[in-house]
Amino acid sequence: MPETITVEKVATATDSKGGRRKKKRSTKGARRAMRYAYRTRRGMAPLYATAAQAIAGSALAVPADGWKTALAATAAGAATTVAWGRWEMRIGKKRPRRKLPNRNDFIAAASAATTSGGLVTAMAATGGLQPGNSPYPALLVAWGVGHGIYWWRRGKKTAAPAPTLSEQMQLWQDNVAGVDGSLPGSKLVDVVTTDYGWTAVIVLKKGNWRKAVSAAHDIAGDLDLPEEALQIEKAVGKSARRAILAVFDHNPLQAGTTHPGPQILDKATGQAAVGIFYDGVPSRYAFWKPSGPVHSVVYGATDGGKSRFLDMLLGTERHNGIVSFVCDPQGGQSLPRWREAVDWYEDTAQGGLAMLYEVRKIMYERSGRYSMMEFIDTKGRKLRGRDHFVVNDPDPLISVTIDEAHRVLAQPGAPALILEIVLMARKCGIKLRLVFQGPKANMYGSGPESTDIREQLQSGNTVMFRTASTLTDSIGLPGWEVNPSQLPMYWPDGTSTAGLGYIKGPDNRQAMFRAHFDQDPAHWATTGTTPTLELSAAACTGKAYTERLERLAARLRGETVELPDDAMPAIPAASSADPIAAAAAAIEAEAPAGTDDTVYNFLLQRARPAGRNVIAQETRLTVSAVKNALTRLKRDGRAVDVDRGIWAHPDHIDTVADDADLTEAA
């Protein structure tokens, strides 16, 4: 009978339902544990790191040279931490991270990397964790608790994360671009993450970029963002249907920038980087351009940042050979550092008016010289009569700064005088910089010239810090869709927003900028040398300029100072209310500054009488200018009319005149 063999079947996971259930349960439990560990990765990070060190130290203790691997890993970790804390790379507008870590975070990270590496290296070199009498378990616990406390305290101070970019893009499609949204049918293209949030280009279905700018507040509501966390500006050089959108998770202008020094001026272009826009691009201010200096106007309410901005500009001028005239009618309180650091400083409104009269003399003296100046043009031709100004060829640029300018413009005759200078001074190398609290017309005086002065100044640089009235926003920056009056006075942390505003200059960007902060204007005011006028211009000025230093010294001694009698000559009024006619009448009534000395020196050197026409031809002055100059010289006893139309120096009245002169005079 054949032998029967009984084989006992062994239950396996493939043929036993109970076994399969056990494996499924264990797999599911592991997955849950992994998911829980991932969800709690931020809060439990110190515990995970401590456990990882214990495992790594024990594993590297097995090979004989495992400590070498641990030491290399420690060095690499320390180098990586240093790079993380101090190295920053930009690729276009995109950066690998949002912002650099603060000092405390960097120190904590460096401590964690080096001490952790040291523990692992020590364990690898001495046989691993070695529970029992070994100090390593206690050291690991101390490491985890010490660094964990900082990690957990830091986590409590961290603000809740902002919505992700994908969430905000979806909000745009649902709330902004929807039928009932702020910009129906619009879309976003060229979306780029930045260190302050993200930017994109808005493409409108209908209308132009102004429609997007005017809807900025509604868009902020649709995206569930604070109004100050969103910026929309014109997409320069692109279709009018496109606008640039910038969304901030923090305002990059809040930290501000420190004034780097007078080297901000590029002498090749005449432009200076005076601050930054919200995206980190430098914002520029033009001191001059190829055709001549650029006039400027600065607006801003109290604590808007005007004075510190002027400190930066005056320091730049002092250290770049630009002659600065400054009038601070507030008794010198706004710009006290420059009292002895500029060529001419006045601290009263009357002194500012006297300064403008002297500037007018300098303007005409330079104009007379430049009109007959010989120069070589770009094609190598020798020409006579230059119709533009070249910096330091041969004269320096003159910058006239008048703070609280409304007080000077309230003086009789000031509006007409300023308009005359504004219209004619650029070709003579003179720029005006007037500073006001707002752009209302009454700030520019009560005469008909006020609007013309404002338009001429605003055609150059316009810097507008926070203002006090929404009614003046469009006046100070006509055609711009911005609201300086709505700029905040304080940042969320309570610090001042001084220096925050808009600048219309070479960049022409309708975007927020913040001026550099000059932490120590006294340094730039007390170093270097003070640029001064050229001798020919100084020679044509009166006592208001030539005695300026004596008056300043007297004021510093506490004495009461009065302006000289000839500081503010009266200008005859024109028969027309037209400011251009008023300026023309003033020019006709008063010969260009320096004419008297020119005619006097001609008569002295000629050593014989001469007719008016001959004097005009030889001195290259107009006949009317020579006639007025001779009248004044006669009154002062410096010229004598020896015959009808024939004039001579008092020392040469007995000398016989040429027949040609007598014939021409007849």
- DSSP readout, 470-532? GGGHHHHSTT----GGGS-SB-TTS-B-TTEEEEESSS---S-EEEPB-S-HHHHHHSS----
Question: What number of residues does the chain have?
Answer: 666
Yes or no: say if 259 and 517 are a contact pair by the CB < 8 Å rule.
yes
Highest averaged pLDDT of the listed ranges 11-20, 246-255, 372-381, 407-416: 407-416
Parallel, antiparallel or unpaired: strands 288-289 and 242-248: unpaired
pLDDT higher than 90, residue 226: no
Q: Per residue in 646-666, pLDDT tens? A: 888 888 877 776 655 554 444
pLDDT higher than 50, residue 9: no
Q: Per residue in 593-648, pLDDT tens? A: 578 888 888 888 888 888 888 888 888 777 777 888 888 888 888 898 887 778 88
| Segment 149-156 mean pLDDT | 69
Three-state secondary structure of 431-455: EEEEEECCCCHHHHCCCCCHHHHHH
| Segment 208-218 mean pLDDT | 89
The percent of residues above 90 in pLDDT, for the chain, comes to 30
Which residue would you say has higher pLDDT here, 486 or 82?
A: 486
594-665, CATH topology level: Arc Repressor Mutant, subunit A (1.10.10)
- Range with the lowest mean pLDDT among 99-103, 300-304, 319-323, 451-455? 99-103
Yes or no: say if 129 and 51 are a contact pair by the CB < 8 Å rule.
no
Three-state secondary structure of 259-322: CCCHHHEECCCCEEEEEEECCCCEEEEECEECCEECCEEEECCCCCCHHHHHHHHHHHHHCCCC
Q: What is the mean pLDDT of the chain?
A: 82
The pTM is what? 0.63
pLDDT of residue 593: 56
Q: How confident is the model at residue 331 (pLDDT cuts 50, 70, 90)?
A: confident
pLDDT higher than 80, residue 241: yes
Residues 6+ apart with CB under 8 A from 606: 649, 652
Q: What is the DSSP code string of 566-607?
A: TSS---PPPSSS-HHHHHHHHHHHSPPTTHHHHHHHHHHHH-
Q: How confident is the model at residue 7 (pLDDT cuts 50, 70, 90)?
A: very low
CA distances from 34 to 31, 362, 457 (A): 5, 83, 68
pLDDT of residue 11: 45
pLDDT of residue 106: 77
Q: How confident is the model at residue 68 (pLDDT cuts 50, 70, 90)?
A: confident
Q: What is the DSSP code string of 357-369?
A: HHHHHHHHHHHHH
pLDDT of residue 4: 45
Q: Which two tokens stand for residue 496?
A: 């001042």
pLDDT of residue 154: 67
Domain boundaries, the chain: 27-155, 165-248, 263-554, 594-665
Q: Which two tokens stand for residue 601?
A: 């020196």
pLDDT higher than 70, residue 390: yes
Single-letter residue type at 475: I
Q: Per residue in 377-386, pLDDT tens? A: 888 888 888 8
Q: How confident is the model at residue 483 (pLDDT cuts 50, 70, 90)?
A: confident
346 backbone dihedrals φ, ψ, rounded to 5°: -125, 145
Which residue would you say has higher pLDDT here, 402 or 479?
A: 402
pLDDT of residue 268: 93
pLDDT higher than 80, residue 418: yes
Q: What share of the chain is helix, strand, coil (3-state, %, to 5)?
A: 45, 15, 40
CATH no., domain 263-554 = 3.40.50.300
Residues 6+ apart with CB under 8 A from 455: none
Instruction: Convert 283-303 to b/e letters by CB count within 10 Å (16 or more is b).
Output: bbbbbbeeebbbbbbbbbbee
Dihedral sign from CA coordinates of 214, 217, 221, 225: positive
Task: Tell the residue number behind the tokens 């305290």, with chain if given.
Answer: 153
pLDDT of residue 148: 76
Which residue would you say has higher pLDDT here, 178 or 88?
A: 178
Q: Per residue in 12-57, pLDDT tens? A: 444 445 555 555 666 777 777 777 767 777 677 788 788 887 788 7
pLDDT of residue 1: 41
Q: Is 165-248 a CATH 2.20.220 domain?
A: no
The C-alpha atoms of residue 208 and residue 200 are separated, in whole angstroms, by 16
Residues 6+ apart with CB under 8 A from 515: 274, 275, 283, 305, 308, 309, 312, 463, 499, 501
pLDDT higher than 90, residue 135: no
The C-alpha atoms of residue 428 and residue 363 are separated, in whole angstroms, by 6
Which residue would you say has higher pLDDT here, 106 or 266?
A: 266
Residues 6+ apart with CB under 8 A from 438: 299, 301, 467, 468, 469, 472, 476
Task: Tell the residue number behind the tokens 């300043």, with chain if given.
Answer: 552
pLDDT of residue 54: 79
- Range with the lowest mean pLDDT among 23-27, 158-162, 215-219, 447-451? 158-162
